[in-house]
Chains A and B, each alone.
Chain A
C-alpha cells in the first residue's frame, strides 16, 4: 500500500511540476501576479510529494519488502540497516529518484530563500526548474519506475554488490548529486536572466551562493568517491581517469571556472555573457555525467547500469537542455550590457586566463572521455583512452593555472602595475625553489617530483604572502590579529581553498614519486621489509560478518621507531551473491599510508599472494580537497553571500 502511495505521489508530483513550469511562464507573459506567485507554492508542494515518494521507497528497503521488484533485486534481509537505506540509491531507478528529490529540494529552497528577489526573475527560475523536474520525473515514471511490484514476491532479496557496502560510498551519491543538481539552479538563473535580457551585479550576487553550494558538494562528493576507490578497490590508487570519474570531474572543472568568472562579473560588472555561458555548460556537463553513468555507453571499471533506451532518453534531455540553453544564449547574449573595461595585466585578466584554462581542461577531459564512442562509431573498433593521454594534456594545462593562482590575488583590478608585485613574485619564487630543492636533494627525487613540489610550495608561499599583505605588514602583533579578524570571511575562504589546492598537489606529487609497490607470495610466518617497516604474516583465521564470512590475515607491523601495530586484511565471501572481495587493511598516517591486500592462496598451500603499497603523504590528497571545500564553506558564510540577502537594506 505504501509503495502504491509513493507511486501515486510521484505521478502527482509530475502534474504539479507541469503547473510549476507553465503557470509562472504564462504569468510573466501576461503579467499576472497570481500566476507568477503560484511558482513558489507548486515548487514547495512538488518537493513534499517527491520526498514522500522517496520515503516510501526507503520504507520498502528498510522492511525488506521483496514484493517490490527493485528491492528484491538489490537488497537482502541480512544487510546492515545503513546499507539497506543506501541501497535505495545504489541502483539506477532509486538514484534517479534521489536526483529528482534533490532537484525539487533546490527548487523549494530557491522559492523560500528567493522571496525578496524580483518576482519576474524568480518566477522564470522556478519555471525552468519545473521543466527540468517534468523531464526527469517522466523519465522515471516511463522508463525506470522503482515502484513496480513482482507478481510472485521473492522470499529473499538477490543481495547487493558487496563492494558497495561501504560508508564512504553510501554517502557519495547524495553528495555528488547535491553538486550536480545544484548546478541546475545556476542554469535556471541564467536562462531566466537571458529571457529577461538583464544581467547586473545584483543578479550575480544572487547566483554566486548557489554556485558555491553546488561546488562544495561536488568537491566533497568527488573526494568521497576517490577515497572509496582507494580503500575498497585494492589497487592503492585514488584516480583512474575512468569515464565515470571524468563524468563528475567535468562539471567540477566548469563549476570552478564559473566560480572565478562570477567574481569578475560581481565585482567589475563584466564577463557576464561568459559567466552565463559557463553556467549553461556546467549544467550540461552534469546531464552528460548522468548520461555517461546511466547509459553505459562507455566502458568503465565501475560497471554501471546499462540500458540503451534509457541512455537515449537522457541523451535527448541533454540535447534539449544544452541545445536550448545555447540557442537562447546565442540569441540574447549580444544584448547584454557590459560594464568595466580592463587591461590584460589585471586581476580580471588573470581570472580570464584561469577561465580559459579550466574550460579547456574540461574540453580535453570531455574529448578523452568521448573519443572511444567516436572511434566505435567510425570504424567499429573498441578502444579505451588511458591515463597517459589525460596526464599529457591535463598537467601542462594546470601548471600555468597554479603559477597564476599564487599571484593573481596580488594584482589590482582594472590595471595592475608589474613593478608593484615583481619583488613579491621573486620572493615567493626563491622561497618555493629553496624548499622544493631541499626535499628533492634529500630524498633523491625526479624532475617531475621537483616540478610538483615547486608548484605546491609556490602556491602556499604566494597565498600566505598575499594574506599577510592584505592584513598589513609592519604592524604590532595585536593590531595584526585585530585586522586579520576583521577580514571578510570570503578572503579567508579564498586563501584556505588555494592552500588546499597546494596541499593536494604536494600529496599527489609525493605519493606518486616515492610510492613503493610490492607484489609477492608470502608464507605464514614469513617476514618482509618495506622501507624500514617490518611486516610479519602472523596467522590467518576464519571470521563471520553479518552477511559474509572471511579469511582474515593478521600482520604484525613494526615501524622504524619500533612501534607495533596489527593489520587485518580480509578475503570476504558473500554467500548471497556468491562474490569474493578483498578488504585491504590500511595503516593511515599523516606522513604515510601502509596498505596491505591479501590475495588468493594458490595450490592450497600456506602461500598467499600479497600486495603491499607504501604511499607517503597520500592522505594529504583528501586533506587538500577537504580544505578546498572548507574554503568554499567559509566563503559561503560571508555576509555578502548570504542566500536571498536583502540588497535593499545594504
Chain B
C-alpha cells in the first residue's frame, strides 16, 4: 500500500470540505472561458454559504455558530486537498475578526455575513503599505490596492484605514473593481477608492482596529498554513501515485532512486511543517504571532520545495494544468504571498529580536 495523506483535523467537517473542494476543482479544471468560470465559482460560493461556512467564527449572539479556530481549520484542511478556488481564510476568518473589533456596530454585518446575505471583501492593508494605501482624508476615502482576494459578486468592502474600520457597498459610486485571477485560480480585484465617507459607513474607530488587523493577518496566515500543508500532503500522495503508474525505460518511474529520494525530501518538508502547525490548532492553544510567523516562514521554503518537486517529477505533465497535483502546486506557491511572505515574517521576527536586545 502506498502513502495516503492523513487529515490534520479528521472528522465530518474535513470530509465535507474535501468533497466540496474536489468537486469545484474538477469542474473548474474543465472550464476555460472566464465567464463560465465565474458561473462555476458563483454556484460553489452559494453552496458553501448555504453550508454555513461563513457563520463558523461568527459569535452565537450575532447569529453565528460561535465555533473555535479548529472548526474553521478543519474546513481549510479539507478544502486544501484540492486547489479550492474560493476565498476561505479571507471571507470566513479575516472578515469576522475585523468586524468584531467594531463592537455593537459590527453586529449587523456579522449577522448578515452568517446569514449569507452579505459577501464581504476585506481590504487588509499591505504589510508594507505604499503612499496610495486606502486612507481617510477630509471625509473622503482615497487610495488603491492591487490583487485583493474576493468572493464572486461581492456586496461590500471592509476597509481598515489606520484606526478606522469602514464598510462600504461594493456598488457605491467612486469604487472601481478590476477583476483578475491569481495563479491558483482565485478571483482578485484591483480596487481604487475615491468616495465620500459618511459616519454610518465607519463601523469603529480606535486602537482596536489596528489590533484587529494584526490579529486578522495572523489568523489568515495560520489558516493559509493549514490549507497549504494539507495541499502539500495531497501533492506527496498524488506524486507517488503518478510515479507508481507511469512507465518509462521499460519500468515504472517509482523504481528510480533519484525520484524516490526527491519524494522523501518532499515528505519530510511536509511533515515538518505539519508538526509545526498541529499544536497551534489544539483547543487550549493560544499561538503567539511569533509562532505563526515561524510557521509562515517555514511554509515559504517547504511549500516551494514540494511544489517544485511535484512539477519536476511529473515531467512534461508537470507543465500542464491538467494534473490535480499541479493545480495544488500553484495553490501552494500562491500561499507564500498571502498574509505576508517569508521575507516579511523573517524581518518582523528579526526586528523584534533586535528590539529585545536593545532593551536588555
Do A and B originate from a single complex? no
